[in-house]
Amino acid sequence: MLDDFFIRALIAGIGVAAICGPLGCFMVWRRLSYFGDTLSHSALLGVALALLLNINIMLAVFCFVIVLAIVLLLLQRQESLPSDAILGILAHSSLAMSLVVLGLITWAQVDLVSYLFGDILSVYKSEIAVIYIAGAIILGILFYIWRPLFAVTLNRELAEVEGIKATVVNAIYILMLASVIAVAMKIVGALLITALLIIPASCARGLAKSPESMAIYAAIIGVISVVLGLYGSLYLDTLSGPSIVVAAMFLFLLTLTPLTKIFK
């Protein structure tokens, strides 16, 4: 069964969507879309670096995104919070830089489109294994730190006064985000990772009454988007990564209609 590229794509996509849902909720709650964009756009620099140094792409992206995230976190700790402008400059300049570097790499065949929009249809069995192992670890950690992370998200000061180590919890979340970005690069590409994180979570907001149910709905909606998007791309012969995002967007529009009342 795993020999069929389409089945492999489905399994990989479902795995990534299931991780993205809950993590994406925190991104929505904390208004971190810009932050996520910055991290995922700069992930492409990790790809360029990997090709230059001839090392594993997923690993390079993971390391690069973590380094960048730590830099951003340090900026935050200096109480001069990175503004939208700084995040925007970082996101776009790193995107531009990586495109330039990739253009300079003449010795390897570089399929730019697959890095920008994902290449889910060529996912390997080993990559599926990585997605599910990483996913299990990430969701396990998330389950473990759920209450403190949510408390810090709702009000950092309150959480700290009541004994939660906000800095540690935040750092763990950023690490998880970096891992998800590294894993999701292959599926939707550097340009659309944030979409897979925030659109299902935003859909789930209209359906949920508690943070926990919002996370579960977000995962389910992400999975549905992947299935719809992949089948859509198969029949319409469109790019699979963007098709998944378009499917998610249609689901989001659906949640804006009175239909959502049924769930509540």
Partner 1 sequence: MDEKAPPLIEPLIELKNSGLKVRDRWLVRGVNLHVNRGEIVTLIGPNGSGKSTTARMALGIKKPSEGNAAKIANLRVGYVPQKLAIDWTLPITVSRFMQLTTKLKKDEIISALKMVSAEHLLNADLQPLSGGEFQRVQLARAIARNPDLLVLDEPVQGVDFNGEIALYQLIEKLRDQLNCGILMISHDLHLVMASTDRVICLNGHVCCEGSPKTVAESNEYQSLFGTHAAATLAIYHHQHDHKHLPDGRVQHSDGSITDHCNHDNHDHNNHEDASTNINYEHRADHEMGEA
Residues within the interface to partner 1 (CB under 8 A): 28-29, 31, 147-148, 150-151, 153-155, 157-164, 205, 208-214
**Which CB atom, from 5 or from 143, has the smaller least distance to partner 1?**
143
Nearer residue to partner 1 within complex by CB, 4 or 31: 31
Find the largest Cα–Cα distance for the chain.
56
The smaller minimum CB distance to partner 1, of residues 53 and 262, is found at 262
Minimum distance from residue 41 beta carbon to partner 1 (Å)? 23
Q: Which is nearer to partner 1, 3 or 79 (CB)?
A: 79
Least Å distance, CB 95 to partner 1, is: 27
* Min separation Cβ 22 and partner 1, Å: 14
Task: Give me the least distance between CB of 254 and partner 1, in Å please.
Answer: 18
Q: Tell me the closest approach of the beta carbon of residue 164 to partner 1, in angstroms.
A: 6
Q: How is 49-109 classified by DSSP, letter by letter?
A: HHHHHT--HHHHHHHHHHHHHHHHHHHHHTT-PPPHHHHHHHHHHHHHHHHHHHHH--SS-
Q: Cα–Cα distance between 208 and 36 in angstroms, integer?
A: 23
Length of the chain: 264
Find the shortest distance in angstroms from Cβ 20 to partner 1. Answer: 16
Which DSSP helix (H) or strand (E) runs through 246?
helix 240-255
Task: Report the residue number, 83 or 213, with the smaller CB distance to partner 1.
Answer: 213
Query: 């709905």: which residue's tokens?
Result: 217
Q: Which long-range contacts (CB under 8 A, 24 or more apart) does 74-81 make?
A: 77/167
* Nearest alpha-carbon partner for 206 in 255, 259, 154: 255
The residue among 211 and 232 lying less far from partner 1, judged by its C-beta, is: 211
